[in-house]
């Protein structure tokens, strides 16, 4: 396929190889860097070179780096462009070429190699970066009205609270040119998608937040493979590209639903499962084992979300043949089939991955099922109490919170099941319990949300059965059994 994910990756690497870049392998998702929890960008493996701590082996390199961004977890299935796991294609200059070449090649790659129409491309530069603006306008020929100056949030890139950083320039694709060129907001994701970020890495951010100039001026870029695949394959979102859709199809098959005609909620669960399964498989493959701390908790949380959503879709482990009650291994198998050009090692680690997944899923399902029984008891008691006291039946905030916190029940679901029996819920009481717990485990939550931030508190213990991440459940979700 001319625009398959695999071919886009290959063409990117070959484009830069033809321009003097050495093709290097992806680094692990577990970085060799204590300031970052997981690999969030292609530059991470080169950080010591950018900082001048390690001499460069080559002046130019290009990679396809597997990345995890847990800070985007709430966006998964909500926006059309964010994943927890994605591949970032990058070209790097270690004190070699700088802005001019980086910009010209990015343009040539986009318009000639990938064939994107020039008038569909918009550019952002850092607010005071007149040099980049001038290169785009005068040397590449982009009309000034399609070059936007943006502030620090969008156009000053750093890999963390400290470390190499610099102003950047991004390329956006316009899905709706008919909307005109005035009052344009590049952040409007019903119209635009950012796909390529060129970082002009020339500073080091120090502990006190100040910037010092690096000895050399470097280039660090990131192009989202799934996003370019989405554009070139002309599908409505990244999930429907050949990089992810086969996983969604498998999940649909297990759930006995059809993605194409499914309601939004069902589609969102399927997309989320498609996303999470890739993250889970590559994390375990890179040695991250489910646990209650740091990275292990990231993978545990992703697994639990995938299991819960699978059950909400009606996927039952039993009856699926040789997988003995667990369905994640079936989906993982599909991820592994797709892994050939992402990471050839994953195949060799398949048995280990299936084993971890099966154990973790079955353990979590036990907890969920205990919770389902407990909810039944709670409801029966509430009804009995109400008969005795003559007041309306109601589940206490404490009970609802116990189900949420210990048994992984989103409160919306508890509420629905209770509603079905004519039992109310003390939501104020639930919110109070939630607030209380949030205060107590603020540190732990900080670790979980971590993508980019410092992770010195990696060893922070997260409560054993804490379950987070159902804030975005669909209101009409139904719990089975």
Residues of the shown chain interacting with Mg ion in the complex, contacts defined by CB under 5 A: 194, 197
224 touching ligand ATP, by CB under 6 A: yes
Look up residue 373 and give its two tokens: 């029984």
Binding partner of residue 226 among Mg ion, ligand ATP, none, CB cut-off 5 to 8 Å per kind:
ligand ATP
Secondary structure of 342-362 in the HEC alphabet? CCCHHHHCHHHHHHHHHHHHH
- What kind and span of H or E run contains 66? strand 60-68
Shortest distance, position 67 Cβ to Mg ion, whole Å: 11
Q: By CB under 6 A, is residue 220 in contact with ligand ATP?
A: no
| CA–CA dist 191, 188 (Å, integer) | 6
Stretch that binds ligand ATP, among 10-18, 218-226, 288-296, 414-422 (CB under 6 A): 218-226
Q: Is 202 in the site for ligand ATP (CB under 6 A)?
A: no
Binding-site size for ligand ATP (CB under 6 A) equals 16
Give me the least distance between CB of 194 and Mg ion, in Å please: 5
Site map 84..103 versus ligand ATP, x via CB under 6 A: --x-x---------------
Distances (CA, A) of 56 to 59, 94, 158, 364, 448: 7, 7, 20, 46, 34
| Beta carbon nearer to Mg ion, 152 or 264 | 152
Which element (helix H / strand E) includes 224?
A: strand 211-224
**Measured distance CA(435)–CA(314) in Å, rounded:** 32
Taking the least distance from each CB to Mg ion, the nearer of 194 and 361 is 194
Distances (CA, A) of 221 to 67, 88, 209, 341, 445: 14, 9, 23, 21, 30
Which residue's Cβ has the minimum distance to ligand ATP? 224
Give residues 170-199 in contact with ligand ATP (rule: CB under 6 A). Answer: 194-197
Give the residue, chosen from 31, 160, 222, 274, that forms a contact with ligand ATP under the rule CB under 6 A. Answer: 222
DSSP H or E segment with residue 311: helix 294-312
Contact by Cβ (8 Å): 330, 357: no
Cα 362 → chain centroid: 25
Measured from the CB atom, the residue of 45 and 197 that comes closer to ligand ATP is 197
Q: Which is nearer to ligand ATP, 81 or 305 (CB)?
A: 81
The stretch among 78-86, 173-181, 293-301, 333-341 that binds ligand ATP (CB under 6 A) is 78-86
Distance of alpha carbon 397 from alpha carbon 333, whole angstroms: 41
Q: Which residues bind ligand ATP (CB under 6 A)?
A: 69, 72, 81-83, 86, 88, 194-197, 222-224, 226-227
């Amino acid at each position: 396929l001319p625009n398959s994910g695999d071919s886009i990756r290959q063409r990117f690497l070959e484009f830069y190889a033809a321009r003097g870049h050495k093709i290097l392998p992806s680094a692990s998702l577990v970085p060799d860097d204590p300031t970052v929890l997981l690999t969030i960008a292609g530059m991470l493996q080169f950080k010591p070179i950018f900082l001048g701590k390690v001499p460069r082996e080559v002046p130019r390199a290009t990679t396809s780096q597997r990345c995890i961004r847990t800070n985007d977890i709430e966006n998964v299935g909500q926006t059309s462009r964010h994943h927890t796991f994605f591949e970032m294609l990058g070209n790097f200059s270690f004190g070699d070429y700088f802005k001019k070449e980086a910009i010209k090649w990015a343009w040539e790659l986009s318009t000639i190699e990938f064939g994107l129409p020039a008038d569909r491309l918009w550019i952002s530069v850092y607010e005071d970066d007149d040099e980049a603006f001038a290169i785009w306008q005068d040397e590449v020929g982009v009309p000034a009205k399609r070059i936007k100056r943006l502030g620090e949030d969008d156009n000053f890139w750093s890999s963390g609270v400290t470390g190499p950083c610099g102003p950047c320039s991004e390329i956006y694709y316009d899905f709706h040119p008919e909307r005109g060129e005035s009052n344009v907001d590049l952040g409007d994701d019903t119209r635009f998608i950012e796909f390529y970020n060129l970082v002009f890495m020339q500073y080091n951010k120090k502990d006190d937040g100040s910037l010092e100039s690096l000895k050399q001026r470097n280039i660090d870029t990131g192009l989202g493979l799934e996003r370019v695949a989405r554009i070139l394959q002309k599908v409505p979102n990244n999930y429907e590209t050949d990089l992810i859709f086969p996983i969604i199809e498998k999940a649909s098959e297990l759930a006995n639903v059809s993605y194409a005609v499914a309601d939004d909620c069902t589609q969102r669960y399927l997309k989320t499962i498609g996303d999470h399964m890739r993250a889970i498989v590559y994390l375990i493959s890179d040695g991250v084992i489910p646990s209650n701390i740091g990275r292990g908790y990231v993978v545990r949380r992703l697994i639990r979300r995938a299991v819960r959503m699978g059950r909400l879709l009606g996927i039952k482990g039993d009856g699926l043949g040789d997988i003995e009650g667990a369905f994640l291994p079936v989906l993982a198998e599909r991820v592994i089939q797709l892994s050939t050009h992402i990471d050839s090692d994953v195949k060799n680690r398949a048995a280990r991955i299936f084993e971890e997944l099966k154990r973790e899923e079955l353990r979590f399902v036990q907890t969920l099922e205990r919770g389902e029984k407990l909810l039944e008891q709670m409801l029966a008691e509430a009804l009995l109490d109400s008969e005795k006291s003559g007041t309306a039946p109601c589940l206490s905030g404490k009970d609802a919170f116990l189900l949420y916190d210990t048994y992984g029940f989103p409160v919306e679901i508890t509420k629905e099941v209770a509603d079905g029996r004519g039992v109310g819920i003390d939501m104020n009481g639930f919110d109070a319990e939630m607030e209380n717990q949030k205060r107590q485990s603020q540190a732990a939550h900080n670790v979980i949300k971590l993508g980019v931030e410092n992770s010195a508190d990696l060893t922070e213990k997260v409560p054993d059965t804490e379950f987070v991440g159902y804030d975005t459940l669909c209101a009409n979700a139904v719990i089975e059994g």
